[in-house]
Structure 1
């Protein structure tokens, strides 16, 4: 009996570790490598990481969600080849040609968003459909697709200029350099303002959005029905709990601490 009790005492400290090891690891992917979604080099920062942490807690040890970035081109290849094994967050069925929601599972909405047309304050544009952008230079992150603008881009009526990230396009527009407009979601524009990455005073946001308000959900592969059921239920709860969604405090303004020049 003593030896049995000793063995149990030795095993008890290992139970939490074994339970943690038993959790199924799920990659929670985003193809946005910028705020508010993802912060390169800071795996615990960004909205995608906060969502992964919250979902892991809600699963009660069944799943361990890990926030990852995947380029849109790579994601498209995996989808075309039927090799996607991860969950893709912050997306909408029309981003993936699945308006009937039959190619993939789709959770309920995580948040509402809308797409905006932004131009230089010094040369403002008002958006009135794709034709109103004819003859303009359009800055967009490489790999991102804009089906409504593609016919005009292919015809040479809009000149597309690829940039590394949307912040680069907005900074170029603020400086009135090379670009006439870009397309950015309100959530991203607000986050970049919050982080002081861009100077909003140099930008003009068209009064008419490029798209009506739309909902950002999660895409789940069809061969993961159990995972989908958990996520679908979790999202319904998350919509009523905005605490995980709140952005971190704004970084201090370094300029405010500098002594004025004499």
Structure 2
């Protein structure tokens, strides 16, 4: 009898796994600490997916994926793929009232910094203090507080592929006055072998006060939202998954033409 159950076990496990709902844990940050191109198991997004899978008990199967921001907006709008977007805040998705999406509690706290070259340091005192400057920003990323100034021609936005390319342009004194970097990303990029953080200047006043990075869940996925909200307690008890592995960096050198 025991042998019979042992023989059935692989089939039962397969059936159980096939019943799991696939959820794309989607980030539009294609840089450390969130995502490491070419290293699918590295980065906070992959570690979060692994942790959630261990908590899901086969009910969900979370897959860490990178999706460019414009494509992600389209997918969220059409609702054909089950998505969860971690590491974000309601103001990133024009949802200050938290009515367009469901929002979990915080995964972590962060703040937005204004970073320039140490050779031409820039201090920040509100958007108007950036007037007449050239601003490097990842394509598709939104900065609502700066949009009026950009639209009026008072601030020039230069789209770049990745934030580290904007930083590289700054330290190389190439066509940018500043960029905006979250503290979490800047701390991770300090370990990048292609970046000399000593050549960067961080404005003493942050662009934003400290804010929470949460998980965005579509309105039509209340059960998934309840699972994630419940999982937060376990994620907060064990914070080891948030600690990056030593010297995990993008193995590709940054483009010299800018991000």
TM-score by length of 1: 0.90
Matches within 5 A, 1:77-116: 77-83=74-80, 85-116=82-113
- 1:245 equivalent among 242, 245, 250: 242
Residue in 1 aligned with 2:203? 206
Matches within 5 A, 1:155-234: 155-234=152-231
Residue in 2 aligned with 1:73? 70
Residue in 2 aligned with 1:58? 55
Residue 11 of structure 1, CA deviation: 1.9
Structural RMSD (CA): 1.7
Q: Write the deviation string for residues 74-133 of structure 1: whole angstroms up to 9, x where unpaired.
A: 112233445562001100001111111111110000000000000010000000000000
C-alpha distance in 1 between matches for 2:19 and 2:173: 54
Residue in 1 aligned with 2:24? 27
C-alpha distance in 1 between matches for 2:73 and 2:190: 30
Unaligned runs of 5+ in 1: 253-262
Inter-CA distance 138–47: structure 2 relative to 1 (3 Å threshold): same
Q: Write the deviation string for residues 186-219 of structure 1: whole angstroms up to 9, x where unpaired.
A: 0000011123342111000000000000000000
TM-score by length of 2: 0.91
| Structure 1: 4+ residue segments shifted above 6 A | none
Unaligned runs of 5+ in 2: 250-259
> Are 2:122 and 1:125 aligned?
yes
Matches within 5 A, 1:35-50: 35-50=32-47
Q: Write the deviation string for residues 32-60 of structure 1: whole angstroms up to 9, x where unpaired.
A: 01111111222111100000000000111
Count the aligned residue pairs: 249
C-alpha distance in 2 between matches for 1:74 and 1:244: 28
Larger Rg: 1
C-alpha distance in 2 between matches for 1:202 and 1:55: 38
